[in-house]
Amino acid sequence: MKHLLATDGLDPALATAVLDTAEELKHTLLGREVRKLPTLRGRTVITLFYENSTRTRVSFEIAGKWMSADVINVSASSSSVNKGESLRDTALTLAAAGADCVIIRHPASGAAQRLSGWLAEAGTAVVNAGDGTHEHPTQALLDAATLRERLGSFEGRRIGIVGDVLHSRVARSNIHLLSALGAEVVLVAPPTLLPAGVESLPVTVSHELDAELPALDAVMMLRVQAERMHGGFFPSAREYSIAYGLNERRMKLLPEHAVVLHPGPMLRGMEIASAVADSPASAITEQVRNGVHVRMAVLYHLLASEGAAA
């Protein structure tokens, strides 16, 4: 693997190999007092974030550190980006300074792809940590790792993705990955929060959450991305919550074995009730935990495995 830019077009065998590596790493580190492997000693990993983040940035940093890489965090707000430097010049600067891998989050869809073009000559690997409303592949991989752990397999499983699909790169990455791994994806959202061209995606679409819940093996709740909304996408937060929020009554409609996911950050009381987020069905904390192992696995496949840079 040379870069990880999207799950659209990602070979399911490679995705499965990443999930297997993550699982192995998780078991290797489990219960260890010193969580450090020498695998990426001498390699330099830079996170370059132009958008806010808690879990993604932190888990990439921990992943790099647990593998002994030197990890440097650059946030746009405190870098020369604030002096007007272009993304291309910033990227070339990081490569010239010695980055083996740049992990980028950017508000523009396609930014990670552009970066990979600019850094091709330098041989620097690029990981997309979220580009606009386009993709967030490591989130989908950690969601898949969590689902595989809880459900065993993807074949024949029905996964609901609920809420603001339109603005969600998490949804887009999950649609491609989960369907490629053999699951059936159902999008549940108001018509105003579905993307144009949804018919061409490998999904079924519903506007009725109550009708879908009894047949779902997992339900992934999405945050309503107010920062990307310009205009009225739904009448009010209260009405959205009544129609699409996962509350305690609705949770009872799910099968006993069903898993509840949320990529975070959660808006408790809006798309998910506290009692649901903190229930045994919820795998939200597990998602974060798996995020570290999955990102370790991604760095391994990019920088250390035999197939790296292939």
Preceding peptide of 265 cis, ω within 30°:
yes
Counting contacts by CB under 6 A, is residue 169 touching ligand NCD? Answer: yes
d(CA 192, CA 55): 28
Rounded to 5°, angle at Cα 304 from 99 and 131: 55
Counting contacts by CB under 6 A, is residue 59 touching ligand NCD? Answer: no
3-state SS, residue 170: helix
- Is 95 or 260 the residue whose CB approaches ligand NCD more closely? 260
Counting contacts by CB under 6 A, is residue 128 touching ligand NCD? Answer: no
Counting contacts by CB under 6 A, is residue 264 touching ligand NCD? Answer: yes
- Known binder of ligand: residue 83? yes
Total residues binding ligand NCD (CB under 6 A): 11
Counting contacts by CB under 6 A, is residue 64 touching ligand NCD? Answer: no
Counting contacts by CB under 6 A, is residue 170 touching ligand NCD? Answer: yes
Counting contacts by CB under 6 A, is residue 263 touching ligand NCD? Answer: yes
Among 47, 56, 179, 290, binds ligand NCD (CB under 6 A): 56
Counting contacts by CB under 6 A, is residue 136 touching ligand NCD? Answer: yes
- Known binder of ligand: residue 264? yes
Among 139, 146, 174, 241, binds ligand NCD (CB under 6 A): 139
**DSSP 8-state assignment for residue 40:** T
Beta-strand ranges (E) seen in the chain are 44-49, 70-75, 101-106, 125-131, 158-162, 184-188, 203-206, 218-221, 259-261
Counting contacts by CB under 6 A, is residue 55 touching ligand NCD? Answer: yes
Counting contacts by CB under 6 A, is residue 295 touching ligand NCD? Answer: no
Counting contacts by CB under 6 A, is residue 190 touching ligand NCD? Answer: no
d(CA 4, CA 173): 12
Least separation in angstroms between CB 167 and ligand NCD: 8
Residues that bind ligand NCD (CB under 6 A): 55-56, 130, 136, 139, 169-170, 223, 225, 263-264
Write out the binding residues.
Answer: 55-56, 83, 105, 136, 139, 169, 223, 264-265
Write out the binding residues for L-aspartate.
Answer: 83, 169, 223
